[in-house]
Amino acid sequence: MILSDTLLTKILDKRNHSTLVYGEDISLFDAYMVYSDSKNHLSIDYLYKNGIYMIDLQKSKVEYIHFLKDICNSSEHFQGNQVRKVIILLNIQNQKRVILQKIKTFIEEFFQNVVFILHTTKLSLIDSNINSRIIRFTLPKINKLDKTVDITYNRIIKLLKGGLTPKSIELLREICYMYYMNHDNSIELQQYIVTKIGSNLYLPNSIKYKVLQSIVDINKMYSYSYRKPIFLETIIYSLYNHLEHYTYNL
């Protein structure tokens, strides 16, 4: 089963089962933990948010065992309720077998206090005992997107965050013309905009719908236009119209 942002949110909200996640693109986790606190304990850097701990296991070191045991020893009190903690361990393929075995022990021993989300890029290296005891998901494949699409999107968002001024309007027009010097149409960029806005957990669904509806309407209005940069420019203005009060979360 492929892990989506909606499914990840449910897993983190319910905290019922430990899971194993396989794949290279960990942006789903980064997006969920975007407003988390960066912390350090026992020389280990990690992110924390609402009883969720996310640790990127870049190197194999015994300190992880002591740190994980400290977390596992008690449940979390969150919003007046006692809930299980969640420990997200990224890149567990970097760990030695003895550490992986200890993690398996923690999953079994502390299931009342903690649920684990284990991420790996090399499924073959994961112990069969771990594989058989937890639910397994696959991350979406990394999108092999034309870099100019991502660069253009980020430039647009940066300008929108600063508000529309004569200078930013001039820069937006320049972006649109430059984009069409390298592309025959803006379909890929529009799809990318919809995907990025749609996956933003901090934007109300009503705003997402308005963004999508405006893009659809503009496509209908300008479907036969020969002045393509103006067509794209109109879409960007519609983004500002809907997102001007939400630019902090873009």
Q: Which tens digits make up the pLDDT trace of 8-52?
A: 999 999 999 999 999 988 888 988 998 889 999 888 999 999 999
Q: Which of 169, 181, 180, 151 is nearest to 234 (CA)?
A: 169
- Does residue 133 share a domain with residue 16? yes
Best-predicted range by mean pLDDT among 71-75, 86-90, 123-127? Answer: 86-90
Residue 114 predicted with pLDDT over 90: yes
Lowest pLDDT segment from 61-70, 85-94, 184-193? 184-193
Report the number of distinct structural domains present in the chain.
Answer: 2
Among 138, 160, 179, the domain boundary falls at 138
CA–centroid distance for 5 within its chain: 7
- Does residue 122 share a domain with residue 18? yes
Using CA atoms, how far apart are residues 20 and 137, in angstroms rounded to an integer?
6
98's tokens: 């003895």
Q: What pLDDT sits at residue 145?
A: 56
Using CA atoms, how far apart are residues 87 and 74, in angstroms rounded to an integer?
13
- Does residue 110 share a domain with residue 52? yes
Among 87, 114, 138, the domain boundary falls at 138
- Does residue 196 share a domain with residue 115? no
Residue 54's contacts (CB-CB under 8 Å, 6 or more residues apart) are 29, 33, 36, 46, 47, 48, 88, 90
- Does residue 131 share a domain with residue 79? yes
- Does residue 152 share a domain with residue 72? no
Surface-to-core class of residue 122, CB atoms within 10 Å of its CB (0-12 exposed, 13-18 middle, 19+ buried): exposed
Residue 79 predicted with pLDDT over 80: no
- Does residue 159 share a domain with residue 122? no
Work out the average pLDDT over 76-104.
88
Look up the domain containing 161 and give its range. Answer: 147-249
Using CA atoms, how far apart are residues 15 and 87, in angstroms rounded to an integer?
10
Q: What is the pLDDT of residues 182-225, one digit of tens each?
A: 888 888 899 899 999 988 888 899 999 999 999 999 888 876 66
- Does residue 161 share a domain with residue 66? no
Among 121, 138, 155, the domain boundary falls at 138
More confident residue, 181 or 141: 181
Indicate the helix (H) or strand (E) that contains 49: strand 44-49
DSSP state at residue 248: G
Q: What is the pLDDT of residues 134-177, one digit of tens each?
A: 889 999 876 555 688 888 999 999 888 888 888 989 999 999 98
3-state secondary structure of 199: coil
- Does residue 121 share a domain with residue 57? yes
CATH code of the domain covering residue 110: 3.40.50.300
Work out the average pLDDT over 61-88.
87
